[in-house]
Amino acid sequence: MSSKRTEELLKWDREHIVHSRYGIGGNIGIVTDKTHGIYFQDTDGKDYIDGASQLLCVNLGYGQKEIADAVYKEMERVQYSMLFHGFSNIASIECARKLGELVPEGLDHFNFTSGGSESIGVAMRLARLYWRSKNRASKTKVVSLYDSYHGTGHGGLTATGSGRGFYEKDAGPIAGGYIRIPSYYCYRCTFGLKYGTCNMQCARFLAEVIEKEGAESIAAFIAEPELGVGGMIAPPPEYWPLIRSICTKYDVLLITDEIMTGFGRTGKMFAVEHWGIKPDIMVMAKGITSAYLPFGAVAFDGDIWKELQGKNLVSYTYAGHPTCAAAAVKAMEIYVRDKVAENAASAGRYALNRLKQDFEPLACVGEVGGLGLMLGIEIVADKDTKATFDPNLHIMQQLQDKALEKGMFIRTAEITSGPGDRICFAPPLIITEEEVDKALDILYHILADLKPK
């Protein structure tokens, strides 16, 4: 039973607030009141393990007082200072310096934004501006992946391939000049091939598309190093090196979207480090401030920087907001000092072992996988045929509801808007092995009770 206060808050919320990816006029029935460690607490004092770092953004967990203090100090000093018209501020300069120490070598030129979708917009603009500046103005098209998510701003929405049209269904028409190709989802390979004997057709398909469309028409290829919203799906190890060499061969800029994978999530500071590749443009947000404040960044390489000297890149009012930049500087200090990526790697290894040993044998689990603490569990109604549950049963919503009842938040990717029914396990990166066990115990009992239909 909820308290009177909670009921009042929920009623007001239902009548006035629109929630993302939830029916307008409704809410799930939880109002967050406090947060601590890997938990958020509702207005009736119930704690929930945050099994997804909310939107895979609260990488450092809750209650990092040092970030709050840094933000307060900066806001007391400078409340706002634009980066327009050549003006600058100390927090942004410190942030660029700090980021420069963390990103792959050579990517130390930055534009700042207020979040993921804006950063994707900047990356698209940057890529086109670059080719125009090189007198190759016909290079404008952007290739992206089905099953990808790049946000809901116009450029990002158009690149987003998750749900194969789901996100643009009622928001179209989408922008022209974008091409989507199959993703690297081995469990349900679009080409009907098997990893090991597939000759990496998904990566090679990029070369085929570039050749047929004409390399002189393609500006960039954009993808997530591991599919996030699509369901925590890691690529086969050969994928990214091959993609890098195809982009180089055809003079196509490689944009990696590290909005979800960045800042330790996959067990490295940035996911591209797993394969030792360097993108031309790298997009960041979410974990950059551990989501304590909205902020994003686009890093790009020295060639682009040199080419664009003296050119104009229009940007956003809150780009380089000093308060947000100060939060990012402090968050980055904590990532390095507390070896957060290293903890994500070891806690992730521990969790994946348990998922493989205990969960994979369950009747409703098709496969488990992922990097670091960005793990996915495929839910199927039939392991042999890989058939999913009837979408009308809303199994994933039921699993989420059960987990909430037992005090844990899980995020899911559903077959209606993603490539499969998948549960995401992506807690804050400061999680201990004991806490991993506590979370996975809850999930195990829920999944063990789910019987194939």
Interacting residues with ligand PLP (CB under 6 A): 55, 115-117, 120, 149-151, 156, 224, 228-229, 257, 259-260, 285
Nearer to ligand PLP, 59 or 117 (CB): 117
Q: How far apart are CA 437 and CA 445, in angstroms?
A: 12
Q: Which C-beta is closer to ligand PLP: that of 260 or that of 395?
A: 260
Answer for the pair 367, 378: CB distance below 8 angstroms, yes or no.
Answer: yes
Nearest distance in Å: CB 299, ligand PLP: 15
Q: How far is the CB of 412 from ligand PLP (least distance, A)?
A: 14
CB of 150 to ligand PLP, least distance (A): 5
**What's the closest the beta carbon of residue 151 comes to ligand PLP, in angstroms?**
3
Q: Which lies closer to ligand PLP via its Cβ, residue 17 or residue 363?
A: 17
Least Å from the CB of residue 212 to ligand PLP: 27
Q: Please, what is the minimum distance in Å from the beta carbon of residue 95 to ligand PLP? A: 17
User: Smaller CB distance to ligand PLP: residue 296 or 440?
Assistant: 296
Residue number, 43 or 116, with CB nearest to ligand PLP: 116
CB of 326 to ligand PLP, least distance (A): 19
* Smallest distance from ligand PLP to CB 8, Å: 29
Of 64 and 256, nearer to ligand PLP (C-beta) is 256
Task: List C-alpha distances in Å: 389 to 40, 162, 165, 356, 414.
Answer: 30, 19, 21, 22, 10
Alpha carbon 37 to chain centroid distance? 21
Q: Nearer Cβ to ligand PLP, position 156 or 420?
A: 156
Sequence-separated (6 or more) residues with CB below 8 Å from residue 46? 407
| Cβ proximity to ligand PLP, 250 vs 275, nearer residue | 275
Residue of closest CB approach to ligand PLP: 116
Nearer to ligand PLP, 154 or 406 (CB): 154
